[in-house]
Amino acid sequence: MTFKSLSLITATLLLTTHTHADETLEPISIISANKTIQYIQNTTSNVTVITAEDIEENGYQTVTQAINTVAGIFVTNSGGLGQQTSFFVRGADSGKVLVLLDGMRLNDPSTTNGTALLDSLTTNTIEQIEIIKGGASSIWGSNASAGVINIITKKAKDGIHGSLTLNYGSYNTRGTDTDLAYKDEKVTAQVLASYLKTDGFSALAPRSAEEDGYENKNYNIKFGYAFDANNKLNLSYNRIKTDTEYDDDNSEALANDDYSNSTSDQANYALNYNFKLNNYNVTFNASKGEYNRVYYTYDYFFNIDNQYVNKSTLKEYSLINAYQYEKGKMILGLEYKDIDGFSQFNTYTENKANYTNKAIFISNSYDVNENTLLETNLRYDNYDEFENKTTYKVGLKHDHSFLEGLTSSANYYTSYDAPSAYQLANQSPTVAILKPAYTKGYDISVGYKELFSISYFNTKVEDAIDYVGIWPDSGYANINGKQKLSGVELQSSYAISSLNVNVSANYTHLFKYEKEDGSDLIRRAKDTFNGFIDYYTDANTHFGINAQYVGDRIDTDGGWPASNVTIENYTLWNLNFGTKIINDVDLSLNARNIFDKEYESVYGYATEGRSFYAKLKYSF
């Protein structure tokens, strides 16, 4: 009997193969570590991969639900589907994490800290999520000081194929997904589309106050043409449109606020041309991202309708040269980015900022011997509006011959985060010009096959950017001192082949998550635990149960001035079931928060109670 998969792929750098009971899978390929395709074992970076199979088995509706189960990552939500979402990687906020969709940047320059709005990313079109933890600016530049999340959409297979999926669940949540694709020796064409709508529940507690609904429309179109074996062209287009009802804590009705709502429209275009000759490979990329968000709310204090508009455009061009030699791979990359941001509150003065970024980087992976890998990166970024930055990384990984499967690794890196267009347009009048925040960090990992791995990480951030002062002398400025983040991640997976059961778990403990003044950063959980048990009756039927424990956290009460409050720990339990009803038709059922736990993710906001979701999928 063959198991389908582990409940969650914990594909760390320490692994060379993935053993699912009596099945050994092919090594997993990623592109996030150095912008070229490579096997996961050929990097020293700390990598986790979540597959489409993991997503389906666990019923994840959004990217944030999926990444929230990974060691070192913690997600908070201000309500249900589509509500404001924050995520933290090794204690660092989401503005320090680069998010890519098929290589296209999703970090929105018009957001406060340049974060990607993951709350609008559903999972139905996703084939794989690659997560790199640790500084990656020496490859990717800004917004990668804590890591990279690269979302890969589904790829076409040979011939004509597709699928149609229907979803229904609690809070009148309903949706449909379609996938139609064609591939031959020359042409690849694919259309992915998804629609999700829910009546939802009140964003501000109590949950029953009223309904804050959400609607998400996603289109993804890809076309590829192979001129010959050495020349390939790919075009892709992705668009996400959302409508969200939310509760504004300045609104007159607060939790009963049935007016406040927002719209977003995000479009990404990309062209990719690849030429390959023997051991040399060069890729030209051109992409454009357009982000438009509008928030409407009725103001409690001034008795008027408010409208807040955010817009941004990001154009990016790169040329990536890779040469594979006998003992490794060398990469030379050239990049150019043009970033424009705009925001306006009602008819007040428009806030605008734009800047350009030119960069060059070199990366080398070198097999010192058959058991030792050395990875080095060096990158220089030039900006026309603020301070330039040089970043680097040195990584070493060793397979210990005295015990097959025992691997250790270490990485030292420098990284940075440039000011967002929003921060540039709203900087403090006491600041001449904002500087990029600068990070130095390292991690050390030891692991034995899939059975066990442990990683220690430690980072310090200088010149972090925060909002300071009191109006009219307020705005964004660099903060003196250092933020300190450190912690440990443990992961384990074990397949009990005699029982057809997979057991896996991960635990994260933060030793430090300190601001420059020594106080704790808010909303970081000191301890988080995720556990999974999956049972396969045969190749087509799966039962799963998983649990998540989140420890106490500090938040603010939202007052003026704000006071710190402690949010209590909680544990959530979920059940999953999946089976093939007939040929080409699959059914999956997911029950969340089965004990109907009352808990808070963000102080004052409601969370999902006991809920059930069903999915029926036809494939051809």
pLDDT in tens, 82-106: 999 999 999 999 999 999 998 888 9
Q: 10 Å Cβ neighbour count for 253?
A: 16
Confidence (pLDDT) at 5: 42
What's the rounded Cα separation, in Å, for the pair 196 and 177? Answer: 9
Confidence (pLDDT) at 164: 96
pLDDT in tens, 257-303: 989 999 999 999 999 999 999 999 999 999 999 999 999 998 767 66
Confidence (pLDDT) at 122: 87
Residues whose CB is less than 8 angstroms from the CB of residue 402 and which lie 6 or more positions away in sequence, other chains included: none
Does residue 221 carry a pLDDT above 70? yes
Quick one: tokens of 94?
């989401």
Are 145 and 129 within 8 A, CB to CB?
no
What's the rounded Cα separation, in Å, for the pair 109 and 313? Answer: 8
Q: 10 Å Cβ neighbour count for 583?
A: 6
Dihedral class, residue 159 (left if φ above 0, else alpha if ψ from -120 to 50, else beta): left
Confidence (pLDDT) at 485: 98
Confidence (pLDDT) at 432: 83
Quick one: tokens of 303?
């008795």
CA-nearest of 496, 414, 395 to 455 is 395
Does residue 10 carry a pLDDT above 50? no
Confidence (pLDDT) at 210: 94
Quick one: tokens of 160?
């004509």
Does residue 4 carry a pLDDT above 50? no
Q: What is the rounded average pLDDT of the residues 354-372?
A: 96
595: helix, coil or strand? Answer: coil
Angle in degrees, CA 496, 500, 502, rounded to 5: 55
What's the rounded Cα separation, in Å, for the pair 70 and 93? Answer: 16
Q: What is the pTM of this model?
A: 0.92
Instruction: Name the pLDDT band for 24 (thresholds 50, 70, 90).
Output: very low
Instruction: Name the pLDDT band for 560 (thresholds 50, 70, 90).
Output: confident
pLDDT in tens, 499-514: 999 999 999 999 999 9
Confidence (pLDDT) at 303: 66
- What order of strands is seen across the sheet that includes strand 97-101? 46-51, 126-133, 147-153, 97-101, 104-105
Confidence (pLDDT) at 34: 79
Q: What is the rounded average pLDDT of the residues 11-26?
A: 42
Instruction: Name the pLDDT band for 253 (thresholds 50, 70, 90).
Output: confident
pLDDT in tens, 482-495: 999 999 999 999 99
Are 182 and 188 within 8 A, CB to CB?
yes
Does residue 408 carry a pLDDT above 80? yes
CA-nearest of 396, 398, 423 to 410 is 396
What's the rounded Cα separation, in Å, for the pair 364 and 482? Answer: 31
E-strand stretches of 497-567: 501-514, 527-538, 541-550, 553-556, 564-567
DSSP state of 349: P
Confidence (pLDDT) at 30: 83
Does residue 324 carry a pLDDT above 60? yes
Does residue 166 carry a pLDDT above 90? yes
80: helix, coil or strand? Answer: coil
Instruction: Name the pLDDT band for 340 (thresholds 50, 70, 90).
Output: very high
Kindly tell me the sign of the dihedral angle through the C-alpha atoms of 132, 406, 375, 42.
negative
What's the rounded Cα separation, in Å, for the pair 469 and 474? Answer: 4
Question: In degrees rounded to 5, what are phi and psi of residue 19?
Answer: -95, 115
Kindly tell me the sign of the dihedral angle through the C-alpha atoms of 35, 40, 41, 47.
positive
Does residue 327 carry a pLDDT above 80? yes
Does residue 12 carry a pLDDT above 80? no
User: pLDDT over 70 for what percent of the chain?
Assistant: 95
Q: Peptide bond before 561: cis, by omega within 30 degrees of 0?
A: yes
Q: Are strands 97-101 and 147-153 parallel, antiparallel or unpaired?
A: parallel
Q: What is the mean pLDDT of the chain?
A: 91
Quick one: tokens of 195?
């629609």
C-alpha dist (Å) from residue 419 to 51, 258, 400, 425: 33, 35, 43, 10
What's the rounded Cα separation, in Å, for the pair 64 and 84? Answer: 11
Residues whose CB is less than 8 angstroms from the CB of residue 431 and which lie 6 or more positions away in sequence, other chains included: 475, 476, 477, 478
Confidence (pLDDT) at 22: 42
Are 610 and 592 within 8 A, CB to CB?
yes
